[in-house]
């Protein structure tokens, strides 16, 4: 599937790029490591000691990300024993896409997660877009926004395909899978003229958003911590037989 995005400017020359020209597109690797899952709970003290001695690494799954807030839920990351060869971990510069079901995307620029000190690898449910050197650091927020825009068009195309299904039963039985090839062959047409201005304007809005978002998350964390403090003042008893 190839989608075209046109940024319309009067008399503007244009450059065409495939997503694979701008990003390295890969699929997560957890499917290769499912036999190495570390148990979360065990009643055996010896097993607990073994787990503590075992080197582990965290895996991002669909349950461990909040798509609306673009945040990673650290407590829901999936632990596996560290493999001899560690798949490429995520960075804040990556854009992730869930590849099963309704397509969603998330810029990890907005995740406020410390990837430098906390290695996280993506599960096989994700496609990961890592920027190539053609994208400058100051251009990255803009290009993440471009990816988000074409995903919106991709979702519309998926919905149209489903609407053409012969029956509701067929719609329910049909699973949507987004592949590396589909994403990396999406074509984007970018303006040559006024391109720097376009990025500068977007970055102004993004900077204001990022500052506000950071303050919001700090306030949210303070509120949650205060709730935990409040819980110390209340006696909680549960009698399920009443």
Mean pLDDT across the chain: 77
pTM attached to this predicted model? 0.74
pLDDT in tens, 111-165: 888 898 899 999 999 999 999 998 999 999 999 998 988 887 777 666 666 556 5
Find the domain containing 214 and state its range: 13-162+173-221
Q: Do the domain assignments include residue 5?
A: no
pLDDT in tens, 41-64: 444 444 444 445 568 889 998 889
Q: Do the domain assignments include residue 121?
A: yes
Q: Do the domain assignments include residue 177?
A: yes
pLDDT of residue 143: 93
What domain count does the chain have? 1
Q: Do the domain assignments include residue 71?
A: yes
Q: Do the domain assignments include residue 231?
A: no
pLDDT at 29 over 90: no
Mean pLDDT confidence for 166-192:
72
pLDDT at 9 over 50: no
pLDDT of residue 173: 47
Q: Do the domain assignments include residue 242?
A: no
pLDDT at 200 over 60: yes
Q: Do the domain assignments include residue 29?
A: yes
3-state secondary structure the chain: CCCEEECCCCCCCEEEEEHHHHEEEEECCHHHCHHHECCCCCCCHHHHHHHHHCCEEEEECHHHEECCCCEECHHHCEEEECCCCCCCCCCCCCEEEECECCCCEEEHHHCCCCCCCCCEEECCCEEEEEECCCCCHHHHHHHHHHHHHHHHHHHHHHHHHHHCCCCHHHHHHCCCECCHHHHHCCEEEEECCCHHHHHHHHHHHHHHHHHHHHHHHHHHHHHHHHHHHHHCCCCCCCCCCC
pLDDT of residue 94: 97
Mean pLDDT confidence for 221-229:
83
CATH number at residue 61: 3.90.220.20
Q: Do the domain assignments include residue 1?
A: no
pLDDT of residue 10: 35
Mean pLDDT confidence for 87-95:
93
């Amino acid at each position: 599937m190839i989608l075209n995005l046109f940024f319309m400017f009067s008399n503007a020359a244009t450059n065409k790029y495939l997503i694979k020209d701008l990003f390295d597109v890969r699929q997560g690797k957890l499917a290769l490591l499912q036999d190495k899952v570390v148990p979360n709970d065990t009643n055996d003290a010896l097993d607990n000691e073994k787990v503590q001695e075992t080197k582990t690494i965290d895996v991002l799954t669909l349950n461990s990300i909040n798509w609306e807030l673009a945040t990673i839920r650290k407590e829901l990351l999936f632990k596996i024993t560290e493999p001899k060869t560690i798949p490429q971990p995520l960075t804040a510069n990556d854009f992730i896409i869930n590849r099963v079901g309704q397509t969603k995307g998330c810029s990890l620029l907005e995740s406020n997660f410390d990837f430098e000190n906390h290695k996280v690898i993506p599960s096989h449910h994700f496609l990961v877009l890592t920027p190539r050197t053609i994208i400058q650091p100051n251009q990255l927020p803009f290009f993440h926004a471009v990816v988000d825009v074409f995903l919106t068009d991709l979702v519309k195309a998926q919905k149209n395909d489903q609407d053409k299904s012969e029956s509701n039963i067929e719609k329910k039985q049909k699973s949507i899978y987004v592949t590396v090839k589909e994403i990396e062959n999406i074509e984007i047409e970018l303006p040559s003229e006024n391109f720097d201005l376009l990025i500068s304007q977007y970055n102004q809005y993004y900077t204001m958003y990022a500052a506000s978002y950071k303050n919001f998350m700090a306030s949210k964390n303070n509120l949650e911590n205060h709730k935990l403090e409040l819980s110390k003042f209340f006696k909680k008893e549960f009698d399920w037989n009443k």
